[in-house]
């Protein structure tokens, strides 16, 4: 089972939820009270929780609350960061992996991992007029967007592309990359 962490619209989450077998995604945790992903989860009958950043005076306390939210989730083998706009500290990652040693934490990244680190990869591709870009899924480690690559989809940047047009063309590739990653992880999982 999968737990999705998301901060925003939830487009990839929604597409994934519609593509995967019913029940594959057990829970959604958001860190933004008003994030549309929350309503999308409820509409799909998927349990959702919010652990709002602003409710915690420090990163450590917020990560403690995320950990508590994970403990309240159904059994899971994957935590998928799909538009989750927070970076886990090394301490938080160690704590998660100690509590759930078989869990894999994956991150959908809007860039080729060797070319751009951070949240604004598609905007960067437009700004530098990169002829070829891509979307990737990698395993989460303590180093930002540097974990082992699990899936990659190339994405040409057209001379006429805007951020919006590139984002629209990237979206189905993001879904494909996440599905491929989940299928690969399921095959590797001990039975």
How many helices (H) and strands (E) in the chain? 6, 7
Q: What are 123's strand-pairing partners?
A: none
The torsion angles phi and psi of 74, rounded to 5 degrees, stand at -60, 165
The three-point CA angle 176-37-162 to 5° equals: 60
Check if 109 is active-site: yes
Handedness of CA 156, 129, 167, 175 (dihedral sign): positive
The one catalytic residue in 62, 109, 124, 138 is 109
User: Which residue, among 94, 102, 98, 58, has the nearest Cα to 76 in the 3D structure?
Assistant: 102
Catalytic residues: 109
């Amino acid at each position: 089972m999968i737990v999705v962490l998301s901060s925003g619209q939830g487009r990839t989450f929604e597409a994934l939820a519609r593509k995967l077998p019913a029940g594959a995604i057990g829970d959604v945790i958001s860190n933004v009270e008003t994030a549309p992903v929350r309503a999308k989860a409820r509409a799909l009958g998927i349990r959702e929780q919010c652990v709002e950043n602003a409710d915690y005076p420090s990163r450590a306390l917020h990560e403690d609350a995320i950990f508590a939210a994970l403990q309240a989730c159904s059994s899971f083998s994957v935590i998928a960061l799909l538009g989750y706009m927070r970076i886990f500290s090394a301490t938080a990652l160690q704590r998660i992996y100690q509590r759930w040693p078989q869990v894999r934490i994956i991150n959908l990244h809007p860039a080729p991992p060797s070319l751009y680190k951070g949240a604004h990869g598609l905007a960067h591709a437009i700004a530098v007029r990169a002829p070829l870009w891509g979307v990737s899924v990698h395993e989460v480690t303590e180093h930002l967007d540097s974990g082992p690559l699990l899936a990659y989809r190339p994405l040409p940047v057209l001379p006429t592309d805007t951020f919006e047009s590139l984002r629209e063309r990237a979206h189905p590739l993001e879904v494909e990359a996440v599905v491929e990653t989940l299928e690969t992880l399921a095959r590797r999982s001990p039975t």
